[in-house]
Amino acid sequence: MLGLLALQAVRLAWLVAVPPAPVGAFRPDAVPQAQVTPTGPTLDPFFPSDSAASQATASGVTLHGISTGPGGASAILGDSEGPQRSLRVGESMPSGVRLAGIGPDHVWIESSQGRQRLDFAAAPVSRSAAGTLPSAAPVAPVTGAASAPVDPARLLEQAGLVPREVNGQVSSYTLIPRGDGAALRKAGLQAGDVLLSVNGQALTPERYHELAAELAGRDSVELTVQRDGATRSVTVPLQ
C-alpha cells in the first residue's frame, strides 16, 4: 500500500512540474495552389473559327457561284478585267489570282497578297430552310431584249452552263459566256444569269443535251432566268 501511494505521488509531481502542451486547432502548412496559364487560344468545337477573316471581295475578285457536279467542283469568279469565269482548283484568273480550294459556301484564292478566303457577297439561291426547292417567284419580262433574230447554234456555242444543285440534284444552270459573248448579249442575256427553264419546262440534264435539236426550226425560244434575285422571262427570236 505504501508503495502505491509513493508511485501516485511521483506521477502527481511530474504533472505539476511539466504541464501538458495547450490543445489548439491543427493547421497544416498552406499548400501553394498551382496556376494554370493558357498556352494557346481557346477553341469552341461547335463554332470553329478560321485563321483568316471572311470577306466578299479579295484581290479584286468576287465569288458568284459554286458548282459540285459529277465532274468535280468549280467556282464562278469575276473581276474588273473581264467577264465571269468558271474555274477548277489550280486554275487562275487572267489577273494571276489562283483558285486554291473550294468549300461549301466559300473558296480560297492565292495571289501576291497571300492566301485569302472569299465568301459570297450575298447568300446564293440553293436551299431553303426546309431543304426543298425555293418557291416560284413572279416572272417579269426582260426589257431591252433582242428584237433581231439570233443564230441558235451560235447562242448555244457561247452559252457556258454551270449546273447548280439542290439536295444533290441539278435544279438550274448559271450562264458563263464563252468567247466574246456577242450572241448572248444580243439575246438579252447576261453573265451570271441563272437559267431555270426553256419554253416553260425545267432545264434538266437530259434536256440540256437536247437543246440544239429542240431549238432547230423554231422561230423563238422563251427562257426563264433569275437575275439580281428576280425571276425574269426572256423571249429570244431565232434565225
> Is 113 a domain residue?
yes
> Is 13 a domain residue?
no
> Is 150 a domain residue?
yes
The fraction of the chain above a pLDDT of 70, given in percent, is 62
Q: What's the angle, vertex CA 149, arms to CA 144 and CA 155, rounded to 5?
A: 90
Residue-wise pLDDT for 105-145, tens only, equals: 788 999 888 899 988 754 444 333 333 334 444 544 444 45
> Is 99 a domain residue?
yes
DSSP classification of residue 238: B
165 and 224 fall within a common domain: yes
> Is 21 a domain residue?
no
Phi/psi region, residue 217 (left: phi>0; alpha: psi -120 to 50; beta: rest), is left
69 and 144 fall within a common domain: no
Q: Which residues pair with 78 in a beta bridge?
A: 62
Q: What pTM does this model have?
A: 0.44
Domain total of the chain: 2
CB 125 within 8 A of CB 157: no
> Is 36 a domain residue?
no
> Is 191 a domain residue?
yes
98 and 167 fall within a common domain: no
Question: What is the domain extent for residue 231?
Answer: 140-237
